Amino acid sequence: MDEERDGTRPQTVLLAFLGAYVLGRDVEVATAGVLELLRRAEVSEQAARSTLSRAARRGLLDRTRRGREVYLGLTPLARRVLDDGGDRMWRTGPVNDDWDGSWTLLSYSLPDSWAKQRHALRARLVWAGFGSLRGGLWLAAGPVDVTALVDGLEAAAHLSAFTATALPPTDVDALVRDAWDLDALAGDYARFVRRWSEPGRGPADPLAAQVALEADWLRTIRNDPRLPVRHLPASWPAVGAHDLFLRRHRELAPRAAEVAAEILRVRDAR
């Protein structure tokens, strides 16, 4: 199965674990326990250590030696990233059923040499639910805090944003189909359902399975813009997939917590 689609990338698994067992607890966790979790999630030791090092270099993890152990804690950046992911997973429904009819329009024009900046901007736009209409013109359903969205990006000085409503004779259904790849989004949900509706799929260890489930769901919804339900196909699979995610999580969580208590060495952050 494609690693980019099945949610098993080591970095994604690590972030899912941190969101589930470290975020909001003001604790640090021993590196050895995290490596054991990743091993149970079928991540090689080399890949696991590389993932931890990369996360530290990106400013997501603080490393502190306490005696013979190295403990990992969350940085402010990590908390922001994980809080955002947690909102998507637990506090935001899979479809937008209370849309007010407004759109956020954003346009930008960057120098040709700004490939890195363009990539960073587009990644944030996709995460925030924007779809590309054409060229440098992007569209999102409902209000978006654009200032917060582009905070810290060099490209921020090169864009303009507006609130708009569609006027006749605009075909909004066609607009949605043009700006977003609905077939690809639906395919991601279908793949999630195929994987997690089959008994025995995923790691055998309940903690690793829970983390893999959350990682896979986060990857599934990462590119979903939560479009207005009135402009989605009647057979849109997001709601059914979300119900499956919640059901499987309820099944795994109690046993996963028991395993976590056994293998993770946790201490208060200082």
Q: Beta-strand (E) ranges in the chain?
A: 27-30, 61-66, 69-74, 102-108, 131-134, 137-141, 159-165, 266-268
Residues 226 and 94 sit within 8 Å (Cβ to Cβ): yes
pLDDT tens for each residue of the chain, 270 residues long: 333 334 458 988 999 999 999 999 889 999 999 999 999 988 999 999 999 999 999 999 999 988 888 999 999 999 999 998 899 899 888 888 889 999 999 999 988 899 999 999 999 999 899 999 988 899 999 999 999 999 888 889 899 999 999 999 999 999 999 999 999 999 999 999 999 998 767 788 999 999 999 999 999 998 899 999 999 998 899 999 999 999 999 999 999 999 999 999 988 876
CA 30 → CA 21, 69, 79, 191, 205, distances in Å?
Answer: 12, 7, 18, 34, 19
CB-based contact 79:128 (threshold 8 Å): no
CB 153 within 8 A of CB 121: yes
**Buried-state track 35-66, b at ≥16 Cβ within 10 A, e below 16:** bbbbebbbbeeeebeebbeebeeeebbeeeee
The model's pTM is: 0.86
